[in-house]
Amino acid sequence: MLGNKRILLIIGGGIAAYKDLILIRRLRGRGAAVQAVLTKAAEQFVTPLAVASLTENKVYTDLFNLTDESEMGHIQLSRSADLLVVAPATADLMAKMANGQADDLASTTLLATDTPVLIAPAMNVRMWEHPATKRNLAALRSDGVIVVGPEQGDMACGEYGYGRMSEPEAIVAAIEAFFATEADRPLAGYKVLVTAGPTHEPIDPVRYIANRSSGQQGYAIAAASQRLGAETVLISGPTTLVPPPGVTVRRIETAQQMLDACEAELPCDVGIFAAAVADWRVDNASSQKIKKQNGALPGLQLVENPDILRTIAHLQNRRPRLVVGFAAETQDVITNARRKLETKGCDWIVANDVSPATGIMGGPNNAVHLVTAQGVEDWPDLPKGEVGLRLMQRVADALRTAA
């Protein structure tokens, strides 16, 4: 709930601005007071009247409005809020913020503020992927700006990719996480390590062996861990996902690199091993691209990769207090999961049936079974975000009980 919180919403000039009308309603529904600043371009997409009606507040658009400046001024406007939310944060607004430019009310307010800022970027995929935007994003992150999204999907411009503004619900969730109190952060003070995604094991410089994995569940777990207050490190294989805000991401490609990255993050309190690690790597990987010859590829020698989960779970001194593995199976899910609990030496196994017919692999939902020494819990089919939150709440309960 956001009772008594004051949000200054800065609306940038992009088509995603239409979502702000819902965002304002959701924020107000949770008890927040919302004031809004519209850029000139934003006024092309949503009207000040619509925004004023929903915020039930005056809407600010002009830096050189004498009445506003004498009554309140952009400096005070920027400081009268508990949080500044920029949505949509266009490429232009992000560039201005990153470079400290201030040539209109929105950018001046953002430069004059000492209040935390959260942005929800939205732009065409090419603009999002442009090195300039990447530089600006990195600069904003290092300035402490909280970043929500963008999401992948169809865009108003007809293209597909990253650049869609996060849905109002996701933005509200990030705002709530920002305002969360100690009671909402039962993992505060703990360090959680999460592995996610596939690993890529090179055959030659252009080819690799990998498992199917979108990384979504691992990323959702990392997001939940962060939301519940843990210092969260996500060791991620190659994925196209946007890292959750506030999570430290270490990107790796191979299983060996994933193991090294995990060991470098020890000690930690909890290890959650959601990655789909390739079981084998090519021992005789070629340093040059292998040319097609007539017929088959001459023998690739596969050697077993280190089992990261098992290695960490068997550490003598630096074993995390709670080690959670995953078992993605296509048959005998529970039997295999129980066996894995023992062979891997972990405390819990999150097991699921990933047969193609379930649609779990790469899909938005997951139906898991939590297998522990105490027994098996069957969880309902839930969005992966919910599974992540439920799992991390269970982790928090387990740590509290053990303390």
Q: Which residues bind ligand C5P (CB under 6 A)?
A: 195, 255, 273, 275, 277, 279, 305, 307-309, 325-327, 340
Give min distance, CB of 287 to ligand C5P, in A: 24
CA 27 to each of CA 14, 121, 319, 332, 353: distance values in angstroms, whole numbers, following the listed order: 20, 18, 42, 45, 38
For residues 71 and 44, is the Cβ–Cβ distance under 8 A?
Answer: no
CB nearer to ligand C5P: pick between 167 and 279:
279
Residue closer to ligand C5P, measured from CB, 73 or 362: 362
| Per annotation, catalytic residue among 157, 262, 268, 346 | 157
Q: Is the Cβ–Cβ distance between 34 and 63 less than 8 Å? A: no
Query: Could you give the CA distance from residue 364 to residue 138 in angstroms, rounded to a whole number?
Result: 28
Q: Measured from the CB of residue 340, what is the shortest distance to ligand C5P in angstroms?
A: 6
- Least Å from the CB of residue 2 to ligand C5P: 37
- Smallest distance from the beta carbon of 370 to ligand C5P, in angstroms? 13
> Within 13 A of 354's CA, how many CA atoms are on the CB side?
17
Q: Any catalytic annotation for residue 157?
A: yes
Rounded least distance, CB 349 to ligand C5P, Å: 8
Q: Which is nearer to ligand C5P, 161 or 306 (CB)?
A: 306
Q: What residues have CB less than 8 Å from 249, skipping those under 6 apart?
A: 233, 234, 236, 243
Tell me how far CA of residue 166 lies from CA of 119, 125, 144, 346, in angstroms.
10, 14, 19, 36
Q: For ligand C5P, which is the closer residue by CB, 18 or 280?
A: 280
3-class secondary-structure state, position 359: coil
Residue 145 or 274 with smaller CB distance to ligand C5P? 274
CA proximity to 230, closest of 175, 265, 183, 192: 192
What is the rounded distance in angstroms from the CA atom of residue 61 to the CA atom of residue 77? Answer: 12
Provide the annotated active-site residues: 157
